[in-house]
Amino acid sequence: MKTMFTTVAITATTLLAIGQEKPKDSLEGKEIALDEVLVSAVRVTKQSPVTFTNLTKEQIKPRNLGQDIPVLMNFLPAVVTTSDAGAGVGYTGIRVRGSDGTRVNVTINGIPYNDAESHGSFWVNMPDFASSTESLQLQRGVGTSTNGSGAFGASLNVLTDAVSDEAFGQISSSIGNFGTLRNNLKFSTGLLNDHVEIAGRLSRISSDGYIDRASSELDSYFLQGSYVDDNTLVKALLFGGHEITYQAWNGIDAATLKSDRTFNSAGIYTDENGNTQFYKNEVDNYRQNHFQLHWNEQITDNWNTNLAIHFTKGRGFFEQYREDDDFSTYGIEPITIDGEDVDKTDLIRRRWLVNDFYGTTFSANYDKERLNLILGGGWNKYEGSHFGEIIWARFSNNRDYEDRYYDDSSTKTDLNLFAKANYSFSDQWSAYGDVQYRTIGYTANGEDTGLVDDTFNFFNPKLGITFDLNRNNNFYLSYARANREPNRNDYESGSPKPEKLNDYELGWRYISPNVQLNTNVYYMGYKDQLVLTGELNDVGAPLRANVGDSYRLGLEVDATIALGNEFKIRPNVALSKNRNRDFVFQRDGELQELGDTHISFSPDIIIGNVFTYQPKENVLFSLLTKFVGEQYMGNIDSEGSKLDAYSQTDFNVQYEINTNSFIKSIVLSGLVNNIFDSLYESNGYFYTFDDDYSVPGTITTYEGAGYYPQAGINFLVGATFNF
């Protein structure tokens, strides 16, 4: 490693996981990888008054057997994860502090990953991406200024594989329940002539899913070329994936949950003989390719710069069998068959999304003595095309299947500029300041959105202080302001307002030779928060609505405790109170004042623990436990909207065999998920509807709910051959 870049990495980037790494005796930092300079503008260290947790490649590796990144993050503090197919492969989701995935800002090497329109992060588009991840940092709350959509629950930044000095090859395979199979191939040339490295990965994952027909066929690739010298790091990356996933977003009602918890209604129809059938190709079929080019330059001993350009291409559709659909939905005129008027038909449709996302991010870092200053920002543009095609119809009135029954477009531009400074007044006191200006322009013309032409201008200040009492104790206090624009789905229910958040964090970090402890309290006060209503739209996406005033108040504690040389525990607990203030709801035709109600999908208690036993350097046993308290799936505190509390315990083992042959080592891994075979549901939906027909002159509001069951006991086993 070059000396100058080593200095940059120490001073400008994150230290390894507070609360996640092996215990040490003080809060002082340590040398870390050269590639960390690529995320130095968006990551934080213990010198910043921000609540965060790191997860490294070595911590991910024992459980990395094909499940998605959100599932691998399940045991972090204040995190709840879910899987549509029930076993962690396919569509997965994450919530942090009760905030759903659309409010978790995700960057990959500092490049925005959230979809610009929906704000979602669709990990299914990049299967097996954990195998190309060097580390990730989860900042809870507003966090530090970053690129992309604003963070209202957390921000997650992912660093991809570091430059490898040595050449290697790796073949990995795993197999498990529900027909799950993963194979991947990785390689690196090592540094050629001490300057150039080429590395890559190919992966394929297939699974039948725990839920009926919730199958996944997932392919992905990762290729990077790197150039390194004394003052320069250049990385060019190509990565992406292709997913074909049978739809499983319908969920099931309470009665079906008891009688047939794996039932999937997607694709159901009745054939000409009156028999129930399921359409075989009720799938989501999407391909996404990413290009990133990063250039880091060490200009002087105190100045370094980062410049990146990126381009993402997405193209795909989901296919549906529709029974007895109205001609009018598709612009088809009624026809006469055998003297009878026909205005309905069975048909198969595809709803397409084709989009481009491109732009640049940049930063400059000055680090000298007591001052660390970062100036940065980014400009990004999204261009989306939404259109629908009918590929088959029983009656079509001679319509061409390539005729589009809707054809919408959307454009979004996003410019942000930020300045961050950390100044040490003394060996104990330091101050942090962070200001960001962000301007967004969004236009759309969809039938669901209406005509949209909005511009948003946000100013997001952040400030805080840090106090190092001694080598072992660190305290911080911070305030952060965040603003966030609505997403595409928010326009379905009217004219949504942007959200505003004031986030206050107070924390204490303690480190001794055998104990690392992080504890923090927070208060997040919202204005016009877009909370989940519990309902889904016609493509399974959660709907949100503005509420007036709301807040989240919580306490989070996580620790790493060494019990001798072989045993270690990593407990964490998150206690919170999440409320809508003075909530008003229309029931039975009248507005009712419900007072303070629970915010949907926000459990009051989340507990996790990882217990590890390492009798030898090459053997590791882990017992991982998660408990999630009950939560409401709506905002009206209805008993019918409750999602029961649940717990899950996994067992993980890893054994490495070192050899003196062509194969350098063989790593055997096993993971038993949900070892106590708990029957639980980690997600669901809730809806209300009015009936004004049953009793003339009256309106009655009814409720309904759906659930997404998760798999009982199931296993994954794998082997990795290192060359």
For 325-337, give the DSSP string. EEGGGGTPPPEEE
pLDDT in tens, 554-609: 999 999 999 999 999 999 999 999 999 999 988 888 889 999 999 999 999 999 99
pLDDT value at position 146? 80
Sequence-distant (≥ 6) Cβ neighbours of residue 283 within 8 angstroms: 244, 245, 246, 247, 318, 319
Q: Report phi then psi at 20, rounded to 5.
A: -125, -20
Task: Kindly indicate the confidence band of residue 695, based on its pLDDT and cuts at 50, 70 and 90.
Answer: low
- Tell me the helices (H) and strands (E) count for the chain, helix number first: 4, 40
Would you say residue 19 has pLDDT above 60? no
Provide the pairing of β-strand 133-140 with 104-108: unpaired
As given in the structure block, the two tokens for residue 165 are 């000095």
Across 221-225, average pLDDT: 97
pLDDT value at position 29? 46
pLDDT value at position 337? 85
Q: What is the CATH number of the domain that holds 634?
A: 2.40.170.20
∠ Cα 138 144 146 (to 5°): 90
Task: Kindly indicate the confidence band of residue 1, based on its pLDDT and cuts at 50, 70 and 90.
Answer: very low
Task: Kindly indicate the confidence band of residue 693, based on its pLDDT and cuts at 50, 70 and 90.
Answer: low
pLDDT in tens, 459-495: 999 999 999 999 999 999 999 999 999 999 899 877 8
As given in the structure block, the two tokens for residue 249 are 């977003």
∠ Cα 265 271 260 (to 5°): 25
pLDDT value at position 30? 41
Would you say residue 284 has pLDDT above 50? yes
- Cα distances from 329 to residues 121, 270, 404, 449, in angstroms, run 30, 21, 12, 16
Per mean pLDDT, which range of 28-37, 139-148, 188-197, 666-675 is the poorest?
28-37
Would you say residue 90 has pLDDT above 70? yes
Q: How many CA atoms lie within 13 A of 723 on its CB side?
A: 11
Q: How far apart are CA 431 and CA 48, in angstroms?
A: 8
pLDDT value at position 415? 96
Would you say residue 624 has pLDDT above 70? yes
Within its chain, how far is the Cα of 138 from the centroid? 10
pLDDT in tens, 516-548: 999 999 999 999 999 999 998 877 888 889 998
Q: Calculate what percentage of the chain has a pLDDT beyond 90.
A: 79
Across 59-75, average pLDDT: 94
Q: Which helix (H) or strand (E) holds 384?
A: strand 371-393
Task: Kindly indicate the confidence band of residue 33, based on its pLDDT and cuts at 50, 70 and 90.
Answer: low
Would you say residue 394 has pLDDT above 80? yes
Q: How far apart are CA 592 and CA 583, in angstroms?
A: 9
Across 267-293, average pLDDT: 95
pLDDT value at position 4? 35
pLDDT in tens, 305-322: 999 999 999 999 999 999
Q: How far apart are CA 676 and CA 541, in angstroms?
A: 31
∠ Cα 668 670 671 (to 5°): 155
Task: Kindly indicate the confidence band of residue 53, based on its pLDDT and cuts at 50, 70 and 90.
Answer: very high
pLDDT in tens, 351-382: 999 999 999 999 999 999 899 999 999 999 99
Q: How far apart are CA 197 and CA 162, in angstroms?
A: 10
For 607, the domain range is 3-722
Would you say residue 620 has pLDDT above 70? yes
* Count: domains in the chain: 1
As given in the structure block, the two tokens for residue 474 are 């660190």
pLDDT value at position 333? 86
- Choice between 214 and 29, residue whose per-residue pLDDT is larger: 214
Would you say residue 666 has pLDDT above 70? yes
Q: How far apart are CA 256 and CA 264, in angstroms?
A: 10
Would you say residue 18 has pLDDT above 50? no
- Cα distances from 363 to residues 9, 154, 303, 489, in angstroms, run 15, 22, 11, 32
- Cα distances from 308 to residues 292, 314, 376, 548, in angstroms, run 7, 20, 11, 39
Q: How far apart are CA 152 and CA 119, in angstroms?
A: 12
Contact 370, 424 (CB under 8 A): yes
pLDDT value at position 12? 27
